Chain A
Amino acid sequence: MNFENISKKQLFKESQIMKIHYITGICALFVVAIHILMRVIMPYNMSLEYENVVMNYHNIFYAILLEIILVLIAIHGFNGLRIILIELRQNTAWEKSMTILTIIGMISIIAYGTRTIIIGNGLEI
């Protein structure tokens, strides 16, 4: 029986990936808490008015916070998805395609969100 490890050529060791998973999870908890607090410091419906939202984006610290949330959750979420997917089926082709698929998903959601943040930051009220 061939016991060679088929997934030896990895960029990260699985333990490193899991450390990233834990750290992004914990950090996301704090930044998301701030993000939600921004919704309740003024009446909820008012906080969602166009002017108020754009004002949020104009605040450079808040824009950076949003970007951090975006990156952290994208990494944490898509890595979680990858874990679930590679547990379903075991062959090199499936694992490779799922890894690539989740990385593409991660990058595109970060890119798309960043676009909103940058444009939102430059919007006139």
Chain B
Amino acid sequence: MKIIIAGVGKTGYTVASQLALEGHAITVIEEDGEALNETVENVDVVAYHGNCVNRNVLDDAGVGESDLFIALTGDDELNLFSCLIAKKLGAKNTVARVRQPEYSGVIPLIAEDIGLSMAVNPERETAAEIARILEFPLANKVEFFARGKVEMIDYAVTAKGPLCGKTVKDVFANTREALVCAVNREGEVLIPFGDFTFAEGDIMTIIAPRGNLGAFFKASGVAGHSIKRVIISGGGRTSFYLAGELISHRVRVAVIERDAQAARALHEVLPEVEVTVGDGTAQKLLVENGIESADAFCCLTGIDEENILSSLYARHVNPEIKTVTKLNRVEFVPIVKPLGVGSVVSPKLIASDRIVSYVRAKQNGVGSGVLTLYRIVDNKAEAIEFEASAGSALIGVPIHLLKLKENVIIACINRGGKIISPRGDDTVEAGDTVIVVTTHTGFDVLDDVLC
């Protein structure tokens, strides 16, 4: 696809490099010469120096012939405005980053008029991601498929946990609730079958119809208690979205915010939230707010170092607590993760992930049997949603009789809205959509899974 990216700050850079690697023709527009050089020197793109609403620049960059225009400058209004102009010039789709909470209510009103295909709000996406993580305290990451009807989580096998040493058969043969579709063992991705034995340190990727996971974990003896009390350090935009979301799920939320005015503003909009003015790294304050007995602690201040330290402290005083740490500096995520700060979220990565998966969905919509494609387990495996047409060789054959390629698993079947977690005796029928997980790449139609 021909894609134009206006603004190559950190998010723009991440999006540009990921999409360029996937073979798209990327043109970037940026006003800051230094950021532009950085991009041109490291990413396979064409770059134009200038303002993204300048007619000459837009024409030179070929906005008129582009398939997608993505506005990622630091300025919401500029993003929306440039998307409107790009659309008028002939760009087929436009995506804008819009961060202002006030705008989130009005974007749907104007999206059609200005021809906006998608608005990405990094803070809101981050809050949603954290809410999902807190919904399954055992999971590190949660993703949704099939319009939210299927969910996929990562679960780390611990030495003391009930799954360690068991085989796939032991855990999943007697349940229809969920299925393990990939295992990340020391960085290597394996697709596990019947006799595969789980070991300490494995990260299982489990796929299940939405709402089943709780029952599954209960049945398999993994103690999962739901989150009832959350402390949030920092009262910025992400916290605002997150607190609202959690309250609607009847979770008790306490927020610690340094700035008195911001704290008051938060309390005005969300009266149910206990807001305290103070330093989120102050140990006394945290203890006063009940860090020793809280179920989860989210560090969402704007300062990475404070977030890391607070998380470490929380885990120190309360080893059972679930912590979520926000990092702005994307490049440090891999270094910080092993420190034991719980789940790490980065708004910039989440925003770029959203955009990249939007592009993949657009790309795959054309001329192949792929409905959606997700990269999972650090991009080392793919989860692909196919439509099963009547002519497919898989139709009507029990799965255990199919000659599947190695490292391919049929992870989920969607039959007219009913989600089936498939076992050996199940069959794929015409009209189903099927989610396949594989370490192969380049599958175009469902029959590609066969030998």
Instruction: Decide whether A and B assemble into one complex.
Output: no
* B interface residues with partner A (beta carbon < 8 Å): none
* A interface residues with partner B (beta carbon < 8 Å): none
